[in-house]
A and B are shown apart, each in its own frame.
Chain A
Amino acid sequence: MTGEHRLARGGRVDRARPLRFTFDGHAYEGCQGDTLASALLANGVHLVGRSFKYHRPRGFLAAGAEEPNALCTVARDRARTEPNLRMTQVELYEGLVASSQNSWPARGFDLGAVNDLLSPLLGAGFYYKTFMGPRFVKGTTLWAKLFEPVIRRAAGLGVPPKEADPDHYANRFAHCDVLVVGGGAAGLAAALAAARAGARTILCDEGAEMGGALLCEPDATVDGMPAAAWVAATLAELARRGATLLPRTQGFGYYNHNFVALAQRLTDHLPHVPAGAPRERLWQVRAKRVVLATGAAERPLVFPDNDRPGVMLADAARAYLQRYGVKPGTQALVVTAHDAAYRTALALARAGVKIARIVDTRPRPAGPGLEAARAAGLPVTVGGTVVGTTGSLRVSGAMVAQASGTGATDFETVPCDLLLMSGGFTPAVHLFSQSRGKLRFDAETQRYLPGDPAQAQASVGACAGSWGLAAALDEGSAAGAAAAGSGAGRSHAVTGDHAGEGGGILGALPHGRDPARVKAFVDFQNDVTAKDIKLAVREGFRSIEHVKRYTTTGMATDQGKTSNMNSLAIAAGALGRTLPEVGLTTFRQPYTPVTFGTFAGAARDDLFDPVRRTPIHDLAAAQGARFEDVGQWKRAWYFPEAGEDLHAAVAREVRATRAVAGIFDASTLGKIEVVGPDAAEFLNRLYTNAWTKLAPGRCRYGLMLDEPGFVMDDGVVGRLGPDRFHVTTTTGGAPRVLNHMEDYLQTEFPELKVWLTSVTEQWAVIAVQGPRARDIVAPLVEGIDLSAQAFPHMAIREGRICGVPTRLFRVSFTGELGFEVNVPADYAAAVWQALWERTAALGGTAYGTEAMHVMRAEKGYVIVGQETDGTTTPDDLGLGGMVAMSKPDFVGKRSLARPDLVAPGRKQLVGLAIEGRTVLEEGAQITPTADPPVGTHAIGHVTSAYWSPTAGTPIALALVENGRARTGETVFVPMPGGAIAARVVGPVFHDPEGKRLNG
């Protein structure tokens, strides 16, 4: 038995495949094809949760994506626990474990329901009003001490899991001629017409099964086939024609250039998820044309206590009955402003549900539904209304009154356990609106309908305001054919679709009851009542956007799918304006909530961002290197020996390098090969230095400025031949420098015959530095005379090392005799190994980036981005001599003459000598006195600070106003523990004459 309220036959569920599941710990049985909602209704469960604010008992309002009440948490395990799922969309599977939300200790007895009694305090904007509460301690409001903690605890619906998401999420980029969103009658017909015309077609639908409303139409036929058979035949033909069919796929976002995002649920409906299978897939679709067939949602009626379990949309009841074979009640009262609800009443009556009354709010209704109901002998009250309901955990009666006048006070209570309502239908124009299409208000039918499309798009069927199966099918077919560029669509023969068009009401039904004592809900999920909206208007809110935020109507996870039009109408009524005058709130992506995992896709853990490693990485790791992140690169930071911390390892690495030699992986250095007859001229224009006279085989330290004259990069440039330069850049600056160069080459100097090629990753670089560097390199090198005379400091040679080609630089970033061995990257590991063996044999070391930084700071070598901050000129760094002002021009030249760049008082690079052993903090401010009053202007800041193993003291580099003129002065670095005195000195702490470089 799959529930005592299950019909013996009918619907699209498989009664032969029962499924066991639990809800709030109780075991139930449903069957294959059920949603959690239909299975619970089959078991007579209407009370499924508590409302957000007042903790009122709530049941199912709808049967689809628009459901505001029936949210649940589905848990497979602790990590696979997802809150706030719409039970109307949760597909049942064997062993499903679901629980209600927002109730404690149980949904039948919930202590939070005390809020319902406190509701006079919790009206519209109560949250904002708490901000303004009385102050009880100086400077502290009740908000901070009382309201915020309480509201924080009460806010939110479900509870997200604390564990990392163990699931895998896929991504797919797709292109098509025609994308059809919505697989109901209109969408199926559109896709079929497009596919028949040979278009690449994608059809997606949010449901487990395509077909939309056709799945709830057992009596209708299309082209002589039962509706369901037509759906099956259409899907089969679409598959045969190669269309991509995506059920369980929500089109949730419509962006520029017909870029549409879809979320496909892949495994949530499976009892056993295959290991490693992706849970969801994000589809990023570029469509030449889009057909929206997103249907319409029925609107609730707004009357007092319209939220009791058992109060349901009429069309939802029809879906439960005809699609799932479930009787949602035994005695139904229908209140409607639209002819469509009559078909539900008729279907229920045929299934044996007693129709207690049909209350039509319209004074003079007409339509095929009404006529059929009268013919069937169903009791119809015309011009009536419902002014309240009875019951607590389930509706037990409806207060029926005459709708005449402004409010009815005389009412009759009609017993019922199912109260069905229909306020008419709201076209689902969300995606159309997201596409930037302008909505137009149709005054006659009081609906917002798609206006002219803003992109290559068409809306068809109910979302375009059309009514009935035949119209949906014909419009869909025409739009599909047009989208595929193949003329007219075809028309369809439809029988058994008797619902009449027209009708509907917006806003609240009138009632004469005390508005202070009853609640007529507009937004069920956020517990917003008609009274709240009127209150907001009374308190001065005029724009619907403000009313929305103040009352929170339409701001819940359902984004007001069932409530927005009613709240708009209530606000318009209170303001005495028309709906278009009040405006419409913005439809935003996503249409329904999308999991973070779907957006993240593969970008998590190791794949969050590329991790770049040098060809020497594995060898350095084997030598025990600790690594640091430099952008996306992993760089060897230091190489600790047993028991060493960073400080000890760096001190040893520095001492060994200065005493013997060290080797260092500099492969991440940016490298650009500049080739062409105009290469030297190009560099003349991009760097401050002069390049024309640099002889092949020689290197020069180059300084690059941006247009405002500030230092943007530096690096050694070697000239390999008359028309070929090997340019190096900082590690972090490599892409920026190449882009900067390309930009100037293409836009300013297109006449120059020169080309730029990034060779950062072609050449691995091993720096060998120290007094024994030549002894280490020499035995491995062929074809290069390494003597100081033949190969002086700042030279470059091409030859071979360890049998492989090398570009060997004689350069130093340590102040010692040094070489930088460039080899093609595949050979780097072998060359590193050979160099390391020689180095180790001589008592040298491998060193990392930290020791490199210390050694360059001991020499006063700047690092762009550390000693510079984007407002630093060459002269500020003491590098004015690098600027060849005699050149006709170079990037930044003119700016160097700007008044503020030549004014006295600029910050200049200096060294700081510190007594004691405290290493300064980089970034610390510098003041002229030890204890300056608050607000004192700082005269500079520390840019680099290290313990210098060579000097045996702390050292620092700093930018200080008029720094060079302050040499010898004492300045102060105020720190929380007291100011630290420092003496201004030159920036070079080691071998200021540079003798060691030329060894």
Chain B
Amino acid sequence: MTMAARALPPGAGALVSVALVPPATRLSFRGGPDAAEACAAAFGCDLPRRACRAAATEARAALWLGPDEWLLLAPEAETAALVAAIGAGLAAVPHALVDVSHRQVGFAIAGTQAATLLNTGCPLDLDPAAFPVGMCTRTVLAKCDVALWRRGVDLFRLEVNRSFADYVAGYLRVAERGLG
């Protein structure tokens, strides 16, 4: 990602804002149910078994992305400690833990028009009844693969691979103009 995306201004309209989230620890965790259980203990946050659901504590979150795949989110400074703790907790359980903190960039999309803004490029039904708070999934935004997590009725987190961040930021700027 280049400086352009870093300098993304907050959304122009009061009804929706787009902002980059601060750098974070991102860990891709892969493994079976027993591994997930052990990981939750070491991570300090539940790993949801239900498809497309996220669990979150104050500072951590685990997003179900596949039957044996979770994205773990935590504050930036905790990467090494978490890798060590989970590694130690799962020494005897087959699993894969890979640091992907720098692979992705997060966007926070907030406001009463947040879902509408996303629906300019995301074909999913984002009505709260169909995509409730706490739901997460891989999907697309225009021509970019993204992971989408609804943190509140009017608050979404978008995770994109870093080289697509400029595209996503530029797309959202243009799409915001089309909300009227």
Interface residues of A (CB under 8 A from B): 168-175, 200, 266, 274, 276-278, 281, 284, 286, 602-603, 606-607, 609-615, 617-618, 633, 673, 675-677, 753-755, 757-763, 824-827
Contact = CB atoms under 8 A, between A and B. Distances in A.
B172 to A, nearest CB: 10
Secondary structure dominating the interface of A: mixed
Contacts of B130: 175
Contacts of B162: 615, 761, 825
B100 interface: yes
10 contacts: A170-B178, A171-B175, A276-B177, A602-B121, A602-B142, A602-B171, A603-B143, A761-B163, A824-B101, A825-B102
Contacts of A174: 119
B99 interface: yes
Contacts of A171: 120-121, 175, 178
A744 B103 CA distance: 25
Interface stretch (B38-46, B51-59, B90-98): B90-98
5 tightest A-B CB contacts, nearest first: A170-B178, A675-B96, A755-B30, A755-B96, A612-B163
Nearest to A764: B102
B23 interface: yes
Contacts of A826: 23, 102
Given A170-B120, A172-B120, A762 B170 contact: no
B102 A757 contact: no
Given A759-B100, A824-B102, A613 B178 contact: no
Contact of A755 (B31, B144, B166, B171): B31
A168 B99 CA distance: 40
A618 B122 CA distance: 30
Given A603-B143, A612-B164, A757-B28, A675 B97 contact: yes
B107 to A, nearest CB: 15
Contacts of B166: 610-611, 613
A840 to B, nearest CB: 23
Contacts of B119: 172-174
A609 B119 CA distance: 19
B104 A175 contact: no
B68 A755 contact: yes
A762 B142 contact: no
A759 B98 contact: yes
A606 B170 contact: yes
B167 A611 contact: yes
A618 B2 CA distance: 7
Contacts of A827: 102
Contacts of A824: 99, 101-102
Given A168-B174, A607-B170, A612-B164, A277 B180 contact: yes
A617 B2 contact: yes
A453 B163 CA distance: 46
B121 A607 contact: no
Among the interface residues A171, A266, A606, A757, which one has the most CB atoms of the partner chain B within 10 A? A757
A516 to B, nearest CB: 56
Nearest to A606: B170
A200 B96 contact: no
Contacts of A611: 166-167
Given A171-B120, A613-B163, A825-B162, A278 B94 contact: no
A276 B180 CA distance: 10
Contacts of A825: 102-103, 162
Given A172-B120, A757-B96, A827-B102, 4 more contacts: A173-B124, A676-B95, A762-B98, A824-B101
A857 to B, nearest CB: 28
Contacts of B96: 673, 675-676, 754-755, 757
Interface in B152-180: 161-164, 166-167, 170-171, 174-175, 177-180
B123 interface: yes
A762 B125 contact: no
B158 to A, nearest CB: 14
A762 B68 contact: no
Contact of A284 (B68, B123, B143): B123
A733 B99 CA distance: 22
A762 B102 CA distance: 5
A762 B161 CA distance: 9
B175 A762 contact: no
A633 B163 CA distance: 9
Given A171-B121, A603-B143, A610-B143, A677 B100 contact: no
Given A611-B167, A755-B68, A761-B104, A278 B178 contact: yes
B98 A675 contact: yes
A762 B163 contact: no
Contact of A610 (B101, B123, B144): B144
Given A277-B180, A278-B180, A607 B30 contact: no
Contact of A607 (B23, B116, B127, B167): B167
A967 B114 CA distance: 67
A461 to B, nearest CB: 29
A624 B166 CA distance: 21
Contacts of B97: 675
A615 B1 CA distance: 6
A270 to B, nearest CB: 12
Interface in B48-76: 68
Contacts of A175: 125, 127, 130
A267 to B, nearest CB: 10
A645 B163 CA distance: 29
B77 interface: no
Given A607-B170, A673-B98, A824-B101, A602 B125 contact: no
